A and B are shown apart, each in its own frame.
Chain A
Amino acid sequence: MTAELGAFSLVLALCLSLAQAGLSFAGRARRDATLTGAAEGAALGAFLGVAIGFAALIWAFVTSDFSVANAAQNSHTAKPLIYKIAGAWGSHEGSIVLWCFALTAYGAALALARTLPWGLKALAVAVQGTLGALFIAYLVFASNPLTRLIDPPAEGNSLNPLLQDPALAAHPPFLYAGYVGLSVVFSLAIAALIEGRVDAAWARWVRPWTLAAWSLLTVGITLGSFWSYYVLGWGGWWFWDPVENASLMPWLMATALLHSAVVTEKRGALAAWTVFLAIAAFTLSMLGAFLVRSGVLTSVHAFAVDPRRGLLLLAILAVTAGSAFSLFAWRAASLKDRAVFAPISRESALVLNNIFLAAVTSAVLAGTLWPLILEAFGRQGGVGAPYYNLVVGVLAATAFVILPAGPLLAWKRGDALGAIQRLAAAATAALAAGLLVYAVAAPRQALGAALVGLGAWLVAGSLAEAAERIRLARVPFAESRRRFAALPRGTWGMSLAHLGLGIFVMGAAFETGWRVEAAAVLSPGGNLGLGGYHLRLQGVGDAPGPNYDAEQGRIVITNARGAPVCVARPERRTYDVGGQSIAKVALCMGPLSDLYVTLGERRATVGGGSAWLVRGFLNPWVRLIFLGPLLMAAGGALSLSDRRLRIAAGVRRGVAAGQWAAAR
């Protein structure tokens, strides 16, 4: 019964979403608060409906109800409970349910928002309802997760073993919460275009939604990257894979939006561009969903694809993005942008940030779609890491050189010389860090050392900027502490995010430049040197798990002086269902670096014994690669907790902000 109840709730949610859109549009047009109030109620109801449907699906997985087709295809009685639950969003249908759940949850949050003006809110709720109706309709009619089987199997097909992992259980919820969070920003942009007013106040209302979506997306991407690092077993953490790119593009747009919205909020400039970014960010989210779900691009992460239903998603994307950009093209020309600023100013720095982020996004977009573009002309071709590393690397590095100066420049007219003087210490520290890496790290690498120095420049720059804010060492310490407490959290959030970016760049540069790799076919008792470490295969035993058999190697790792460092136990697991064999990586984590060991298939030696291919990586500073983005997300959360975002957001300011021409 639960499955039928869930399926019914999903249909109900579809009707409520339609009601939400219709009532809210009508209420706004007739200036009738009763209708818009009813629409807000419908938004809450739609959320409840999808939540019940989602709960019914999870219930089918948890109770192993294999009469539900989706559970039969993706679950198994022997699977641990957490993966039964996570399996509910591991399939195509499940991930669309998760998407709709997030979409209606944001819709409900929007309906409950108090600070928005009535007209803008009514239209935003209506647009959000339209999005909800489109996606729930797709869910109900083309991807229903709760259809029953006439002839249920006794046992399920189980979830792909690679996906049975804690980081990956948490990865989709964060990622989708981020992707779909941008839908609210999209709805607010469309509402503002219809209302005809994009000003400082609007930018301020958009900010918390962008911050929340951006922070969640940052965490989601980091979890995904960490998963591919320690599950896929070849030591890398980013592959410029189409699916990874699909999540990176909305992130880049959301980052640009966060920065341009600041200019719109403080100075009333860039209104049209900010609206454009708000529309583009969610459009790229939908494009990502289409690319991932349709399987038009080959990808290592293609776990849930279906080309036929991909076409429907493409239709949704075309309708939503097409009408949004048409509306933008019609209305944006009349958005006036009268703020004046000097070439050297905070505004210019933020515009530069947007230019570089737009260029990086276009590189990722062009590279991702390149095989499709060529195919349309009857040709073949592909793009891989070398293209992205070079193009994105050059653009990002240029942006990073300028970044620390931005926050030190004043609005309207900045003092370049002053900013350079205040960054002198940071520049010295960065140079020293680069030279130190160049001198100490073997083998000697100029480019790698320069990139580590660039990361250190970002770290030192954000620290210098924070020190400048509290006038550290220039006023008595107590005064600095008072300033520290008095500054708004949004400011600290920014510093923390920039610090996190620097830490990430340092880690990425050092890990990429100085990763050490070694491999050998070892019989028990065999040895393998790895950097300054020594790996010794003591033996291989059996280590059966709940739903798999495994061979487990016991590898003792000692350092150069012969002292034991740790015992690595990499596994090769063969799953009972499907018979797939995967490597389970063993990680010996130091404070910053990892020793990463995998075990290959058993092979026979000439003498009749057994041997295994043992592969080891020494990944120096790899911790920084995952720590940096988490700090960035924490910065976003800190900024979100700023009380200035919650109070008096509706105060009109005397900024001539992208208001509509007076004649209208």
Chain B
Amino acid sequence: MSWRRWAAVAGAVLCLAAAADPGERLADPAREARARSLFRETRCLVCQGESIDESDAALAADLRRAIRERVGAGQSDDEVRAFLVARYGDFVLFRPRLTLTNALLWSAPFVVALAGLGLLIARHRGASEPAAPLSPAEEARLAALDGSSDTKAPELGSKNASELTER
């Protein structure tokens, strides 16, 4: 087995949630709830895509303690996030902060949806426009065609014409 595989296994095994471990909790339920919601958006950096709320890893426990300390000391959510990003970079947050680069990510799906809707509306607009009037050249050609069909099969000419217009 490669080390990556072991890391995956270790991560999966370690990430057996422990955030609810009663020993770590804050006394004030409101602050505890805030800390828990922060845990859920903080990546456990060694746990393969899990949040520190779910992880049993030592790093996650350290981060939980650090966050609880800051929440307990009365820091706001944004201050805690700023601390996390300063220490571990943007990767630590599951919910990307609203920067110009991240705005691309957030807006891309909606741009796709709006572009699709735009195409659909454009198609309906195009379809509902009345057909352009015939140019003089086309009129002349139509007259010539009418003439030829009249000479060949006069009794069928009108029927053919109506079929043509239907299409």
A and B part of one assembly = yes
B90 touching A380 by the CB < 8 A rule?
Answer: yes
The stretch that binds A, out of B75-83, B95-103, B133-141, B143-151, is B95-103
Q: In the complex, what residue of chain A is closest to B115 when comparing beta carbons?
A: A355
Interface residues of A in 335-386 (CB under 8 A from B): 340-343, 348, 351-352, 354-356, 358-360, 362-363, 366-367, 370-371, 374, 379-386
Q: How far is the CA of A581 from the CA of B14 in the complex (A)?
A: 9
- Type the 1/0 row for B71-110, where 1 means its CB is closer than 8 Å to any CB of A: 0000000000000000001111111100001100110111
Chain B residues with Cβ under 8 A from A238's Cβ?
none
Q: How far is the CA of A70 from the CA of B101 in the complex (A)?
A: 44
- Type the 1/0 row for B1-35, where 1 means its CB is closer than 8 Å to any CB of A: 11011001101110111101111000000000000
- Type the 1/0 row for A586-610, where 1 means its CB is closer than 8 Å to any CB of B: 0000000000001010000000000
Chain B residues with Cβ under 8 A from A374's Cβ?
101
Q: How far is the CA of A348 from the CA of B128 in the complex (A)?
A: 14
Q: Does any Cβ of B come within 8 Å of A109's Cβ?
A: no
Contact of B113 among A301, A348, A359, A366 (CB under 8 A): A359
> A578 to chain B: closest CB distance in Å?
8
A239 touching B49 by the CB < 8 A rule?
Answer: yes
> B98 to chain A: closest CB distance in Å?
11
A382 touching B94 by the CB < 8 A rule?
Answer: yes
Chain A residues with Cβ under 8 A from B8's Cβ?
299-303, 305
Chain B residues with Cβ under 8 A from A232's Cβ?
12, 15-16
Q: How far is the CA of A374 from the CA of B102 in the complex (A)?
A: 10
- Of residues B1, B17, B21, B112, which shows the largest number of chain A Cβ atoms within 10 Å of its Cβ? B17
Chain B residues with Cβ under 8 A from A366's Cβ?
105, 108-109
Q: Does any Cβ of B come within 8 Å of A298's Cβ?
A: yes
- Of residues B21, B49, B101, B105, which shows the largest number of chain A Cβ atoms within 10 Å of its Cβ? B49
- Contact A362-B96, Cβ < 8 Å, known A299-B48, A348-B120: no
- Of residues B1, B8, B11, which shows the largest number of chain A Cβ atoms within 10 Å of its Cβ? B8
The stretch that binds B, out of A212-220, A491-499, A517-525, A642-650, is A517-525
Q: Between A and B, how many residue pairs show CB distances below 8 Å?
A: 155
B16 touching A600 by the CB < 8 A rule?
Answer: yes
A234 touching B101 by the CB < 8 A rule?
Answer: no
A381 touching B109 by the CB < 8 A rule?
Answer: no
Q: How far is the CA of A298 from the CA of B46 in the complex (A)?
A: 10
Q: How far is the CA of A582 from the CA of B113 in the complex (A)?
A: 43
Q: What is the number of residues of chain B that contact chain A, defined by CB distance less than 8 Å?
A: 47
> A286 to chain B: closest CB distance in Å?
21
A367 touching B105 by the CB < 8 A rule?
Answer: yes
A305 touching B112 by the CB < 8 A rule?
Answer: no
Q: Does any Cβ of A come within 8 Å of B127's Cβ?
A: yes
Q: Does any Cβ of B come within 8 Å of A463's Cβ?
A: no
- Type the 1/0 row for A213-251, where 1 means its CB is closer than 8 Å to any CB of B: 000000000000000000011111001011000000000
Contact of A234 among B2, B4, B17 (CB under 8 A): B17
Contact of B50 among A300, A359, A387 (CB under 8 A): A300
Chain A residues with Cβ under 8 A from B4's Cβ?
295, 302, 305
- Of residues A340, A342, A382, A386, which shows the largest number of chain B Cβ atoms within 10 Å of its Cβ? A382
Contact of A382 among B11, B18, B43, B110 (CB under 8 A): B43
> B92 to chain A: closest CB distance in Å?
8
Q: How far is the CA of A403 from the CA of B20 in the complex (A)?
A: 40
Chain A residues with Cβ under 8 A from B154's Cβ?
none
- Contact A352-B16, Cβ < 8 Å, known A358-B112, A359-B112, A381-B90: no
Q: How far is the CA of A519 from the CA of B20 in the complex (A)?
A: 6
Contact of B41 among A352, A360, A386, A582 (CB under 8 A): A386
Chain A residues with Cβ under 8 A from B2's Cβ?
305-306
- Contact A359-B1, Cβ < 8 Å, known A299-B48, A374-B101, A384-B43: no
- Contact A162-B91, Cβ < 8 Å, known A383-B105, A395-B109: no
A160 touching B9 by the CB < 8 A rule?
Answer: yes
Q: Does any Cβ of B come within 8 Å of A12's Cβ?
A: no
Q: How far is the CA of A518 from the CA of B120 in the complex (A)?
A: 50
A302 touching B13 by the CB < 8 A rule?
Answer: no
Q: How far is the CA of A360 from the CA of B110 in the complex (A)?
A: 9
A358 touching B18 by the CB < 8 A rule?
Answer: no
Chain B residues with Cβ under 8 A from A160's Cβ?
5, 9
Interface residues of A in 303-357 (CB under 8 A from B): 303-306, 340-343, 348, 351-352, 354-356
Q: In the complex, what residue of chain A is closest to B8 when comparing beta carbons?
A: A302
Q: How far is the CA of A193 from the CA of B93 in the complex (A)?
A: 45
- Type the 1/0 row for A18-31, where 1 means its CB is closer than 8 Å to any CB of B: 00000000000000
B16 touching A233 by the CB < 8 A rule?
Answer: yes
Q: Does any Cβ of B come within 8 Å of A583's Cβ?
A: yes
B1 touching A157 by the CB < 8 A rule?
Answer: yes
Q: How far is the CA of A420 from the CA of B23 in the complex (A)?
A: 56
Chain A residues with Cβ under 8 A from B127's Cβ?
340-341
Q: Does any Cβ of B come within 8 Å of A613's Cβ?
A: yes
Q: Does any Cβ of B come within 8 Å of A431's Cβ?
A: no
> B139 to chain A: closest CB distance in Å?
23
A241 touching B22 by the CB < 8 A rule?
Answer: no
Q: How far is the CA of A517 from the CA of B112 in the complex (A)?
A: 38
Chain B residues with Cβ under 8 A from A299's Cβ?
8, 48-49
Chain B residues with Cβ under 8 A from A600's Cβ?
16, 18
Interface residues of B (CB under 8 A from A): 1-2, 4-5, 8-9, 11-13, 15-18, 20-23, 41, 43, 48-51, 54, 89-96, 101-102, 105-106, 108-110, 112-113, 116-117, 120-121, 124, 127
Interface residues of A (CB under 8 A from B): 73, 157, 160, 162, 232-236, 239, 241-242, 295, 298-306, 340-343, 348, 351-352, 354-356, 358-360, 362-363, 366-367, 370-371, 374, 379-387, 391-392, 395, 517-521, 580-583, 598, 600, 613, 615
The 27 sampled A-B contact pairs (Cβ below 8 Å) are A160-B5, A162-B13, A234-B54, A239-B50, A299-B8, A300-B12, A300-B48, A302-B48, A303-B8, A306-B2, A341-B127, A343-B124, A351-B120, A355-B113, A359-B109, A370-B105, A381-B96, A381-B102, A382-B91, A384-B43, A387-B105, A391-B109, A392-B109, A395-B109, A519-B21, A520-B22, A521-B23
Further contacts, 7 of them, CB under 8 A, given A300-B12, A366-B109, A580-B13: A303-B5, A354-B116, A366-B108, A391-B110, A518-B20, A580-B9, A613-B18
Closest 5 CB pairs of A and B: A384-B94, A355-B116, A363-B109, A519-B20, A386-B95
